[in-house]
Chains A and B, each alone.
Chain A
Amino acid sequence: MLVRQMFITSIILGGFAIIGSGMVALTYSSTEERIELAQREALLRSLHELITPEKSDNDLYHDVIEVTDKALLGSDNPVQIYRARKHNKPVAALLTPTAPNGYGGAIKLLVAIHYDGTLAGVRVLQHHETPGLGDDIEVERSDWILSFNNHSLNSLTPSQWKVKKDGGTFDQFTGATITPRAIVQAVHRSLNYFQQHRNTVFDTPSLPREVEHHE
């Protein structure tokens, strides 16, 4: 009798598990494409903000490689580098390094570097900095992040690649030095990476895009 009860109960439980996961599977398969599209659109929007669509004519989203360089790109995980080209000539590389030492943990950046080594621009993709203090790194909140534009390893000496408080060129925020310092350092390291690896960055064939690499 007890065994029978247990049997029925487990059938019921199993039945609901099947129905529930069936529903999830159905939603997953019907939204999969739309989600990928949305992710691609969101990424392309931020890429195109730095390298405007008319500057390149290649498929930015697919022209991507992954590299791992903890020292210069700030992450143990592979870092994506998108390549912008026009008439098959390299225009710029868009790196996605991490500034590991933000006040609220890692800050994910998008750093666009022209082929000649000057910065096309920097944007913050993801951060956990203090609202109202550290989040002035967002382009929607202040122009600070634009102060990187057109700088390069040649335009400033290594000791100038610092916030003003440390004797460099870049402003810090009132009450928040750690955040800007982390970003200045990360951008500087990205430029160094680009200088050392420029040819490899543009010559390595793209990744196949079957496997998605999103965090």
Chain B
Amino acid sequence: MSNPSYQDIAQQGLWQNNVAFVQLLGLCPLLAVSNNTINGLGLGMATLLVLVCSNVTVSLIRHWVRPEVRVPVFVMVIASFVTAIDLLMNAFMHDLHKILGIFIPLIVTNCAIIARAEAFASKNSPSYALWDGLMMGLGFMAVLVVLGAMRELLGQGTLFSQAHLMFGTGAEWLTLTLFDDYQGFLLAILPPGAFIGLGLLIAVKNWLDQRQQQPSRSPQAAAQQANA
């Protein structure tokens, strides 16, 4: 990756090398918190913010940090940002912070963040590092939100419940109740639902990738695609 283009970085972060789908990093918070859309969005945003801040900082200091101590320095940078963001969320999104609880401080241990610092930010200029952090973070957040929405929809029959916790009391209208009197599919909300849901999403991603890779093999499929 000597001279990455912005488009490449975006493609890597959002799809080809997605933190949750492909690298399979940060699964602990991903699986634990994705029981509804708003929780997923909250943790996704916090992770995105930490990733962007840490990537930029690591990239800025990359010439001063000696290789022997780079890991402790990266950890310190990440931990400082996480603590600061934890405090800020506690102050300004108090109720959401209470729900996400321990998973905000635990962003420190999300391997995805130190992996980006080590593999990308410490070798590239700040603008690339910023873009990479943004794209990787967005990719992770997207998975959290999609998985959260899936589980919430199946488990409770709603979408964006508790939106007011994030956007203030004016945001209750965001909550969509899709099925009234829905009994709820309990499995989706319980931890096994998270594993099954993530597995299904990864399967869909792989299926899409495979379809894209070999359209030329069968002329029929190619024709169908052209028609579509």
Question: Which residues of A does B touch, CB under 8 Å?
Answer: 8-9, 12-13, 16-17, 19-21, 23-24, 27-28, 31, 34-35, 38-39, 41-42, 130-133
Contacts and interface: CB of A to CB of B under 8 A. Distances in A.
Q: Which applies to chain A's interface (DSSP): helix, strand, loop or mixed? A: helix
| Residue of A23, A24, A34, A131 contacting most chain B CB atoms (<10 Å) | A131
Given A12-B65, A132-B189, A24 B80 contact: yes
14 contacts: A9-B68, A17-B76, A20-B76, A20-B77, A21-B80, A24-B87, A27-B83, A34-B91, A35-B90, A35-B94, A42-B95, A131-B35, A132-B189, A132-B190
B173 interface: no
B69 A131 contact: no
Contacts of A12: 64-66, 69, 73
Contacts of A17: 76
Contact of A23 (B35, B66, B84): B84
6 tightest CB-CB pairs across the interface, nearest first? A38-B94, A20-B80, A34-B91, A31-B91, A27-B84, A132-B186
Interface residues of B, number: 29
A24 B80 CA distance: 6
B73 A132 contact: no
Nearest to A38: B94
Interface string B1-44: 00000000000000000000000000000000001000000000
A39 B94 contact: yes
B92 interface: yes
B184 interface: yes
